[in-house]
Amino acid sequence: DQQVKQNSPSLSVQEGRISILNCDYTNSMFDYFLWYKKYPAEGPTFLISISSIKDKNEDGRFTVFLNKSAKHLSLHIVPSQPGDSAVYFCAASVDNNDMRFGAGTRLTVKP
Amino acid sequence: IAGITQAPTSQILAAGRRMTLRCTQDMRHNAMYWYRQDLGLGLRLIHYSNTAGTTGKGEVPDGYSVSRANTDDFPLTLASAVPSQTSVYFCASSETGGAGGELFFGEGSRLTVL
């Protein structure tokens, strides 16, 4: 069963605009959420995280929002840059031994 | 550069053959993991190890085995490969297997089983 869902396989935005990537989860026990970024032929790399006690976490151009009641989180990238073009995976965990990943969203930022 | 090294990078394998994917980390992390990535399914955990000498089953363990003889190495073995095991395999590590914290991934091993 897919406990973490990214319903948009792809997203295309113009350079300088905001990119919003969405993620939904079903397991209310998840208490830690992460976003990973993956370039072709490379492994995923950690981008940003948020614990369930918060509803927002910022790191430079990247902000993650968590809505626990809706079991929804989103990643905002502003302003978007061509180098942000990659596949973004949402992940959720109770502990690292059972981290669940979404299917990924391919972001394309056009110059 | 510290990190995770996986080998081989790519392999084509006949069904029924045995295959071991190697993974070595130099970050002295306690926990290590094996994931497979399949289109439309994201990354799914195969096996994990919280510390040397211990292993556990993930979401999709069938057909795979692992061992953790020391902190640095975490090989994944397919005893008798089947075509459904065609995938990209990622090894990862984290400081602990507990709550929170990020995973550090290797660059992946692409396996094709014919």
- Banded model confidence at residue A71, pLDDT cuts 50, 70, 90: very high
Neighbours of A6 (CB within 10 A): 20
The closest CB to that of A49, out of B58, B102, B107, belongs to: B102
User: What pLDDT, on the 0 to 100 scale, is given for residue A45?
Assistant: 96
Spatial separation of the C-alpha atoms in residues A55 and B35, rounded to whole Å: 29
User: What pLDDT, on the 0 to 100 scale, is given for residue B2?
Assistant: 66
Neighbours of B70 (CB within 10 A): 10
Closest CA to B43 of A32, A2, A78, A76: A2
Spatial separation of the C-alpha atoms in residues B79 and A54, rounded to whole Å: 44
Spatial separation of the C-alpha atoms in residues A88 and A101, rounded to whole Å: 10
Q: Is A37 on the interface with B (CB under 8 A)?
A: no
Low-confidence ranges of chain B (pLDDT < 50): none
Chain A residues closer than 8 Å to B99 by CB: 31-32, 93-96
